[in-house]
Amino acid sequence: MSECAPGVIRKLDEVVVNRIAAGEVIQRPANALKEMLENSLDAKCSQITVTVRSGGLKLLQIADNGTGIRQEDLQIVAERFTTSKLKDFKDLSSIATYGFRGEALASISHVAHLSILTKTRDSACGYKAQYMDGKLTGTPKPMAANQGTTITVEDLFYNVPNRLGALKSHTEEFNKISEVMTRYAVHNSGVGFTLKKAGETGVEVKTQSQNSIVDNIRALYGPAVAKELVEFKLEDSRYKFQVKGWVSNVNYSVKKMVFLLFINHRLVDSTALRKSIETVYASYLPKGMSPFIYLSLEIAACNVDVNVHPTKHEVFFLHQDAIIEKIQQGLEEKLLNSNASRTFYTQKLLPGAGATLEILEPKSKLEKTIAPKDFVRTDSSDQKLDKFLVRSDVKDVKETKIPEPDSVNTPEFRECKLSSIKILRQKFQEASSSIAREMFSAHIFVGCVNRKLALFQHSTKLYLANTTKLSQHLFRQLMLRDFGNLGVLKLDPAPSIRELALIALDLPEAGWKEEDGSKDDLAEYVVSTLLQHKEMLDDYFSLQIDNIDGEHCIVGLPLLLDDYCPWLAGLPLYVLRLSTEVNYEDEAECFRTMIEETARFYKVPGVEGARVDLEQHSTPEEEKDYKFVVEHVVYPAFKKYLLPPASCLTDKSLLQIANLPDLYKVFERC
Ligand code: ADP
Ligand code: MG
């Protein structure tokens, strides 16, 4: 036959189709068991006995004392999509029982020999029926029986050799069965569970119907874990869910997490939930160790994906992230309390302490521990805002200063009596935000995003701060605070004012036009304006001008912040603007505009506008220096001094970009 000849398309035999479909639903004995356990529980039984041979492959029998199946229904129970639990499509959204597809028995009948012995309360006797490929074979035979149903599954996958071959060992299949059984037994404390191997006298799993959940955990997982369990309960009306369960406290740990999760009473797994629980415990348990967790989560039926494939152990549900976060928070609280109780245990063990009333302090008295995801460093020294604007005790400030070789600090502190400055300070203070101040006072610098923006953390939140804008504000503030007392930043060699003005006039920002007059004339005007106010500029702002070899030069600039030098490429424009933008006519206006221009020059340059070239042209060395200054000079100054304007909270110069608990959530998923 030619390789290229098209394959013949044949309609698959219906039996084969059903068998393939069944193999999808039932992949191993434990899947079949789970479906049948749920059927028994749906039938409101109080006792379930499971008997297994060869890992469930030879025999898997499940006997319950539930309602039984009516004789007339035996005809159809094993047909696909027959169920007593769903009459209408709309029932799908409110279904409270586990199975609703009517697929389990049908599937089993396609891949095994299935027989059902059942008796209802009202029936005089029981009936035994056998099924093959979804159909009843023969007629149900009357037979003596107790109330309830016994379903026998034999020779599982006898007609699906591939599936049979894929299953590794009987032991492994048995262990899986035992695990499913154990978990359902813990969850269904009103039902007695027994798991036996056929032909053996001992039982593998056994619980009594009157036992509590903790009794069951003790019986099945051992007393070591049972004595370290704490009850966990949570209800949430917003996301319509409720959690109940038992979780191990900080005194208990195992290598591999034991995680029993039931959602709407169906045994499932959720990797997302598992991981977030592991992270919560990671900070309490020894490295690499895990907890024991049993959780029963009930979610409003409308939030459950009813279409989840029956073998899909892994589930997803609506509002999953929010629900998981709530559970995480709840667990965190539980553990904090159980941590406190550990402190209590050790206290009791101290020699001479004895179990006196003194030791039996309520938990609330024990120091409240902070969850790791809420760990923050705080600097909560109470401070008044005016402290940031009036430098009353210069000695105190001086002590914190590192001597600056190129600067000369003002020898004497002069108290500023100028009312114009007092008013400016008052306005400054009124416009400031104490919330933002608090944020900066206790922030932790994270890193520079670029020249303009940096990240910092405060409390459990991450903020994006506009370094440029905020530094400009800081320099305004420092000038107001240290008005008349500023140190000097010496410039050597001192640049000529005229030359600086000429350089500035060549810059596009200067916006020079021919009608403004010749550049030389304008430069002369700049020199004479500054000279006219030389004394005032020096006295109040430490801007020093001197005649060097016939040229008027800037010999000193205000030292606003130790170890901080303004970006000197901005000096020409600063000098030019001092003559054009500062209003020397009015005292208050003069100070305000002078402060404004100086802060503008001193700010950490951003990347916007004309200075876009900065980042592009700077060498890696410069880039490193700039980052160093921002981290080690500017932000520490923000921390110490900055009184941010309230506007920074609205104009995006301070933006909250993340909440740590949210980030935890995100990273845990990765
Ligand atoms: P589903 O559970 O989705 O309805 P199944 O194929 O698992 O579908 O079961 C089909 C029907 O058989 C059930 O709806 C129920 O009426 C009946 N049934 C199965 N097992 C039992 C049992 N152990 N006790 C009583 N009724 C049962
Ligand atoms: Mg079912």
Residues 641-655 have pLDDT tens digits of 999 999 988 888 888
Report how far residue 248's alpha carbon sits from residue 294's, in angstroms, rounded to the nearest whole number.
9
Quote the pLDDT of residue 336: 80
From 49, 73, 83, 100, give the residue whose CB has the most ligand 1 atoms within 8 Å, as the site to mutate. 83
Residue type, 633: V
Ligand nearest to the CA of 82: 1
Q: Which pair of structure tokens corresponds to residue 251? A: 């005194």
* Nearest protein Cα to ligand 1, atom 11: 83
Quote the pLDDT of residue 362: 32
Quote the pLDDT of residue 535: 93
pTM of the model: 0.54
Report how far residue 114's alpha carbon sits from residue 98's, in angstroms, rounded to the nearest whole number.
21
Distance (Å) from CA 223 to ligand 1 centroid: 36
Distance (Å) from CA 103 to ligand 2 centroid: 7
Q: Is residue 105 within 6 Å of ligand 1 at its C-beta?
A: yes
* Nearest protein Cα to ligand 1, atom 15: 84
Three-state secondary-structure class, residue 517? coil
| Fold of domain 222-336 | Ribosomal Protein S5; domain 2 (3.30.230)
Ligand nearest to the CA of 83: 1
Residue 106 CA: nearest ligand 1 atom is 6
Residues of the chain with CATH 3.30.230.10: 222-336
* DSSP codes joined into one string, 167-218: ---HHHHHHHHHHHHHHHHHH-TTSEEEEEETT-SSEEEE--TT--HHHHHH
Residue 62 CA: nearest ligand 1 atom is 23
Q: Is residue 611 within 6 Å of ligand 1 at its C-beta?
A: no
Residues of the chain with CATH 3.30.565.10: 14-205
Mean pLDDT, the chain, rounded, equals 82
* DSSP codes joined into one string, 617-657: H--HHHHHHHHHHIIIIIHHHHHHT---BGGGGTSSSEEEE
Residues in the 5 Å CB sphere of ion ligand 2: 39, 99, 104
Residue 99 CA: nearest ligand 1 atom is 3
Quote the pLDDT of residue 167: 87
Neighbours of 559 (CB within 10 A): 24
Ligand nearest to the CA of 117: 1
Quote the pLDDT of residue 144: 94
Q: Is residue 130 within 6 Å of ligand 1 at its C-beta?
A: no
For the stretch 151-174, what's the b/e string if a residue is b when 16 or more beta carbons lie within 10 angstroms of its beta carbon? Answer: bbbeebbebbeebeeebeebeebb
* Nearest protein Cα to ligand 1, atom 13: 83
* Nearest protein Cα to ligand 1, atom 26: 69
Q: How far is CA 566 from CA 491, 497, 557, in A?
A: 12, 17, 9
Q: Which pair of structure tokens corresponds to residue 629? A: 């200054």
Contacts of 176 (CB under 8 A, 6+ apart): 28, 29, 30
Distance (Å) from CA 144 to ligand 2 centroid: 25
CATH classification code of 14-205: 3.30.565.10
* Nearest protein Cα to ligand 1, atom 23: 40
* Nearest protein Cα to ligand 1, atom 18: 39
Q: Is residue 26 within 6 Å of ligand 1 at its C-beta?
A: no
Tell me which residues of the chain have a pLDDT lower than 50: 1-2, 89-100, 306-307, 340-370, 372-382, 393-410, 608-615, 665-670
* Nearest protein Cα to ligand 1, atom 8: 102
Quote the pLDDT of residue 667: 45
